[in-house]
Chain A
Amino acid sequence: MIRLSPVSAPLTAYVEPFERAWRHRELIRAVARREFISRFRGSMLGPLWAVLSPLVMLLAYTVLFSITLPQLAAGKSVAEYASGIFVGLILFTLFSELAYRAPMLLHEHVNFVKKSIFPSETIAWTSVIRAFTYGGISFAVFIVFRLATGGPLPWTLLFTPFLAIPYALFILGVVWFLMALGAFTRDVAHVMASIVPILMFATPVFYRLDQLPPNIAFWLRLNLVGDYIEMFRGVALDGQLPNLFAYVAVVALSYAVFLFGYRFFMRYKSVIVDVI
Chain B
Amino acid sequence: MSSEPVIRCMGVGKAFQLYRHQNDQLKQILFGLWKKFYHEKWVLNDVSFNVGKGERVGIVGRNGAGKTTLLQILCGITAPTKGAFAVTGRIAPILALGSGFDGLLTGRENARIGAAILGLSRRQVDARIERIKEFADVGSSFEQPMRTYSSGMIARVAFAICAYADADILVVDEALSVGDEVFQKKCEFYIADFAKNGAILLVSHDLNFLETLCDRVLWLDNGVVRKAGDPATVIAHYREAMLAN
Q: Which residues of A contact B (CB under 8 A)?
A: 1-2, 4, 26-27, 29-31, 34, 37-38, 41, 111-112, 114-118, 181, 184-185, 187, 268, 270, 273-275
Contacts and interface: CB of A to CB of B under 8 A. Distances in A.
A187 B30 CA distance: 15
Interface string B95-129: 11011111011000100111011111110010000
Interface in B60-96: 75-80, 82-86, 91, 93, 95-96
B25 interface: yes
Interface stretch (B15-23, B179-187, B214-222): B15-23
Q: How large is the interface on B (under 10, 10 to 19, 20 to 34, 35 or more residues)?
A: 35 or more
A38 B85 CA distance: 39
A237 B196 CA distance: 66
Contact of B86 (A4, A111, A181, A270): A4
The A contact surface, by secondary structure, is helix
B77 A1 contact: no
A184 B116 CA distance: 28
11 contacts: A1-B82, A2-B10, A4-B84, A26-B122, A30-B116, A41-B104, A112-B117, A116-B77, A116-B93, A117-B93, A270-B78
A82 B239 CA distance: 77
Contacts of A38: 102, 104-105
A111 B98 contact: yes
Nearest to B8: A4
Given A2-B84, A34-B105, A274-B16, A112 B25 contact: no
A1 B23 CA distance: 28
A219 to B, nearest CB: 27
Given A34-B113, A111-B102, A116-B95, A270 B79 contact: yes
Given A34-B109, A270-B78, A275 B98 contact: no
A246 to B, nearest CB: 34
Nearest to B82: A1
Interface string B157-187: 0000000000000000000000000000000
Nearest to A38: B104
B241 interface: no
B26 interface: yes
A117 B82 CA distance: 20
Contacts, number: 88
Nearest to B75: A117
A172 B214 CA distance: 46
Contacts of B125: 26
Contacts of A31: 113, 116
B26 A37 contact: no
A274 B80 CA distance: 11
Contact of A27 (B29, B83, B116): B116
Given A37-B109, A270-B79, A275 B114 contact: no
A114 B26 contact: no
A35 B76 CA distance: 26
Contact of B78 (A27, A34, A181, A273): A273
B77 to A, nearest CB: 6
A46 to B, nearest CB: 16
A117 B17 contact: no
A116 B99 contact: yes
Given A1-B82, A37-B105, A185 B22 contact: yes
B124 to A, nearest CB: 9
Contacts of B83: 1
B95 A26 contact: no
B29 A184 contact: yes
Contacts of B26: 181, 184-185, 187
Which of A27, A34, A116, A273 counts the most chain B CB atoms within 10 A?
A116
A245 B106 CA distance: 51
Contacts of B75: 117
B25 A185 contact: yes
Contacts of B99: 111, 115-116
Given A4-B84, A112-B100, A275-B25, A30 B112 contact: yes
Interface in B1-39: 10, 16-17, 22-23, 25-26, 29
